[in-house]
């Protein structure tokens, strides 16, 4: 599993959870950049990612996720 494939998969999950047709996500993208990315959709996003990869995030890990790149890096670590 490499960063490009995880980024693509997470983008698809993000689009599904946020009900967006196409979105460009970069490592520095935050909730402030995407109108649909609010606290409720963040929780739904985390649940969808955990289910997709069969992983679990701790509360501390979830709280540390501030940017899209943080999510990618954590998935790469947890799913390795």
At 4, the pLDDT band (50, 70, 90 cuts) reads very high
Q: Which helix (H) or strand (E) holds 41?
A: helix 39-53
Number of domains comprising the chain: 1
The enclosing domain of 65 has a CATH number of 1.10.1200.10
The Cα 9–Cα 4 span in angstroms is: 9
Residue 35 pLDDT greater than 90, yes or no = yes
Torsion of CA 64, 21, 24, 7, to 10 degrees: 60
In which domain, by residue range, is 63 found?
Answer: 3-78
DSSP letters along 4-20, please?
HHHHHHHHHHHHHHHT-
At 1, the pLDDT band (50, 70, 90 cuts) reads confident
Mean pLDDT, rounded, for 1-6: 94
First vs last Cα of the chain: how many Å apart?
Answer: 7
Residue 68's alpha-carbon distances to 6, 75, 78, in angstroms, are 11, 11, 15
């Amino acid at each position: 599993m490499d960063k490009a494939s995880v980024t693509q998969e997470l983008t698809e999950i993000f689009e599904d959870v946020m009900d967006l047709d196409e979105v460009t996500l970069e490592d520095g993208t935050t909730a402030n950049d995407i109108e649909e990315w609010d606290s409720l959709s963040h929780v739904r996003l985390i649940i969808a990612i955990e289910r997709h990869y069969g992983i679990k995030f701790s509360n501390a890990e979830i709280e540390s996720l501030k940017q899209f790149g943080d999510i990618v890096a954590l998935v790469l670590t947890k799913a390795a």
